[in-house]
Chains A and B, each alone.
Chain A
Amino acid sequence: MSSTASRTLRIGRASTRVDVRAVVLVTALLLLTLGIATLSLTSGDFPVPVADVIRSLTGRGDTGTDFIVLTLRLPRVLCALLVGAALGVSGAIFQSLTRNPLGSPDFIGLTMGATTGALVVILLRAGDSGEVAVGALVGCTLTALAMYLLAYRRGAQGFRLILIGVGIGAMLDAFNSFLITRARLDEAVAAQRWQVGSLNGRGWEDVRPVGAALLVLLPIALVYARRLTMLTLGDEAATALGVPVERSRFALFAVSVGLAAVATAAAGPISFVALAAPQLARRLTGTAGSGLLAAAVTGGFLLIAGDWAAQRVMPGNNLPVGVATGAVGGVYLCWLLVHEWRRKA
């Protein structure tokens, strides 16, 4: 009925439609992600054979290997996957809500808000990493709230959200720079390090909040995914087809902000994943739906691949993953877009 590769799945009275190409590609991406995760767990300054990694994961390893695999490497890998997935879904929701590929949290001020929160904690309270994360969370949420209220005029329509977001983002960016100029050198270095976004030294205490947030927010996002798809028809058509537009938009906005906030709190403002993951996912799977799951998988893949590359390309340098995702994701997205335009022309 739809694209040629779509199949209907029926179990009793329950039914859904699945795009065969999307399923194949997402599965392939998952396998690739698993491969890189394995690489990340086995390789490094102390190579650990796969068999030993499995022994450690199943609780039968020796103390030394356990420390390397379970304490040093596994939290970092999980953090990459979860943060990437959260950013991917958050970006996908925002881009659909605003009907704009640039409508991702890192472009419309949310990340700047999180940064402001984090900087305030770093510079004014000299807080530890847990407090910095809370600061980022609060900063992001407050920014989102301000955005929504300012953009609200007979409904918070996508275009207004973007414009207001860009404006707030510019203001916060200026404020962030101001904060740093007032800081002592060591504080400024800490602030700068946080601003790039990194997975260096991430432990279980960073994994848990992101995991919990995903566990709660991802199912909500998936339930609302059909409404999100309908909202892309425009407010009027969506209302006419029975979608409570404003309520759905607020719920989706809140879920998306929540995901961006916890992700940024855990790993800092990692650039480009939220922007590129949904776009890459959409072009790979070739569907017009919201593709939240595909965006989650792509986000996780981008981040773990970026982190692995950052650690291996310049070993010993502890290159932050934000730099790698920016570089790799940017190049790939440019290539895709140019390729697509050429084909159309």
Chain B
Amino acid sequence: MSSRLHAEDLTLSYEQRIVAEGLDVRIPDESFTVIVGPNACGKSTLLKALARLLKPRQGTVFLDGRAISQYSAKQVAHRLGMLPQTPIAPNGITVGDLVARGRYPHQSLLQQWSREDESIVAEAMRLTEVLELSNRFVAELSGGQRQRVWLAMVLAQQTPILLLDEPTTFLDIAHQIEVLDLCADLHEQGRTLVAVLHDLNLACRYADHLIAMKAGTIVAQGHPAEVVTAELVREVFGMDCRVIDDPETGTPLVVPAGRVARRKALTTVRTG
């Protein structure tokens, strides 16, 4: 399996606190990779390291065969786009202006707004269905609309690889599906997507490559149908469950065990 983006022996830390150690990750080309795991397991941290937003304490992230730290900021931004978890919309910015900022890595002092920029921004807004919001202020949009606007901005960057840090947080179920459908469309067009998601069932539905993390280590990697089992869920999340086929898509569906059953399992563990 070829991989333009991979990492070897990563140790990640904030200041002195080590979050993850000895991570080896390969993002398969043209995959829709989803990173899952309990809160504070280091999944967002890993994503940040892959996007060189966080310098690893040890180990190297490779992009197209070279250490990512050897590229200039703009060179990376030509290959790899990243939507942070809580991006900041500047005061008083319109949707059109925000999406246009995605073109920054392709512009220069003299060439600030080419015809190409204009058509690519329009296309990104059409894909995400925010074209009609163009003159609205970002601050007055709903959460779902805002997320689509940010996606449009990252799309306008036109990178073959897209990293998304919890793109569905704060969205209701319908808007979550809407955003993930959009991601699936982008994936079908040949982009490599890496997303951190909270919802294991949605991850199974959309991902074709799953990375499960726990306490700063990678527990399993592979196709969701192969790696998601009741044992894995118990190991990663510490929760008993059944894994059945999603009646809609046939992908794994995690059904948490009932309260009584879980209590019983607990007593068995204690007494047995």
CA distance A273 to B18 in the complex (A): 46
The reply to whether B104 and A242 contact each other, CB–CB distance below 8 Å, is: yes
Give the size category of A's interface with B.
20 to 34
- Of A14, A223, A241, most buried by chain B (CB within 10 Å of CB) is A241
Distance to closest chain A CB from B95 (angstroms): 9
Shortest C-beta distance, A103 to chain B (Å), equals 13
A154 cross-chain contacts in B, Cβ below 8 A: 15
Q: How large is the interface on B (under 10, 10 to 19, 20 to 34, 35 or more residues)?
A: 35 or more
Residue from the list B110, B113, B122 in contact with A17, Cβ < 8 A: B113
Given the complex, which residues of B lie within 8 Å of A163, measured CB to CB? Answer: none
Interface-side segment among A39-47, A104-112, A224-232:
A224-232
Residues on A with C-beta less than 8 A from B102 are 241
Q: Are B52 and A16 in touch, CB under 8 angstroms?
A: no
Q: In this assembly, does B88 line the interface, its C-beta being within 8 Å of a C-beta of chain A?
A: yes
The answer, among B75, B104, B135, for a CB contact under 8 Å with A3, is B135
List A14-30 residues whose CB lies under 8 Å from chain B.
Answer: 14-17
Assess A2 versus B111: contact at CB under 8 Å? Given A232-B90, A242-B104.
no
- A15 engages B112 (CB within 8 Å): yes
Interface string of B92-118 (1 = CB under 8 A from A): 111011001110110101111110001
User: Does any Cβ of B come within 8 Å of A233's Cβ?
Assistant: yes
Residues of B within 8 A of A244 (CB): 72-73
Most B CB within 10 A of own CB, among A17, A232, A282, A288: A288
Closest to B106 in A: A242
Cβ of A315 under 8 Å from chain B: no
The residues of B that contact A13 with a CB separation of less than 8 Å are 110-111, 114
Closest to A230 in B: B104
Tell me, in angstroms, the Cα distance from A236 to B83 when the chains sit together. 8
Nearest residue, chain B, Cβ from A4? B135
Chain B residues, CB < 8 A from A233: 87-90, 101
Is B157 part of the contact surface with A, judged by Cβ < 8 Å?
yes
Tell me if B91 and A234 are in contact (CB < 8 A): no
B151 at the interface (CB under 8 A from A): no
A-B contact number at CB 8 A = 105
A240 CA to B87 CA, complexed, in Å: 11
The contact of B94 among A15, A17, A229, A288, by CB within 8 Å, is A288
- Given known A15-B114, A226-B112, contact A232–B88 (CB-CB < 8 A): yes
Contacts of B91 in A (CB 8 A): 288
Residues of chain A lying within 8 A (CB to CB) of residue B77 = 240-242
The closest CB in chain A to the CB of B102 belongs to A241
> Quick check: A288 and B73 within 8 Å, CB to CB?
no
List B contacts of A282 (CB < 8 A).
92
Q: Is B74 an interface residue (CB 8 A)?
A: yes
User: Quick check: B113 and A15 within 8 Å, CB to CB?
Assistant: yes
Chain A 279-321: CB-based contact to B (< 8 A → 1; otherwise 0): 0001000111000000000000000000000000000000000
Residue ID in chain B nearest A16 by CB atoms: B112
A16 to B118 Cα, complex, angstroms: 11
- Are B113 and A8 in contact, with the CB atoms below 8 A? yes
- Docked Cα-Cα span, A317 to B173, in Å, equals 70
Bound complex: CA of A80 vs CA of B89, how far in Å?
A: 35
Q: A2-B135, A240-B53, A241-B102 are in contact. List 5 more A-B contacts (CB 8 A).
A: A230-B101, A241-B104, A282-B92, A288-B93, A288-B97
22 A–B contact pairs at CB < 8 A? A1-B100, A1-B122, A2-B96, A15-B111, A15-B114, A16-B113, A154-B15, A226-B104, A226-B109, A230-B104, A232-B88, A232-B90, A236-B87, A237-B82, A239-B52, A240-B51, A242-B73, A242-B77, A242-B104, A282-B92, A286-B92, A288-B94
Interface residues of A (CB under 8 A from B): 1-4, 8, 13-17, 99, 154, 223, 226, 229-230, 232-234, 236-237, 239-244, 282, 286-288
